[in-house]
């Protein structure tokens, strides 16, 4: 029953599917440690996110 209730919440609403969570690993020049840059980006802008540093 719970699966059906959750599935019905997503019917007709496709705005959330237009975005993708992207994660890029960034190295700190000062310490050399890695941090993660996480963002929600439009599907069309994913390649731009990874190409621009």
Distance CA 13, CA 17 (A): 9
Dihedral (C-alpha) 38, 30, 53, 46: value to the nearest 10 degrees?
-20
* pTM of the shown model: 0.57
Residues of the chain with confidence (pLDDT) below 70? 1-16, 53
| Predicted local distance difference test score (pLDDT) of residue 50 | 87
| Predicted local distance difference test score (pLDDT) of residue 17 | 83
Kindly state the helix (H) or strand (E) to which residue 7 belongs, with its residue range: helix 2-9
| Predicted local distance difference test score (pLDDT) of residue 1 | 52
Give the tokens for residue 50: 């990874």
| Predicted local distance difference test score (pLDDT) of residue 5 | 56
| Predicted local distance difference test score (pLDDT) of residue 36 | 93
């Amino acid at each position: 029953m719970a699966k059906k209730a959750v599935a019905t919440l997503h019917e007709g609403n496709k705005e959330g599917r237009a975005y993708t969570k992207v994660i890029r690993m960034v190295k700190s020049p000062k310490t050399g440690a890695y941090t993660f840059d996480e963002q929600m980006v439009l599907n069309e802008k994913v390649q731009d996110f990874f190409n621009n540093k």
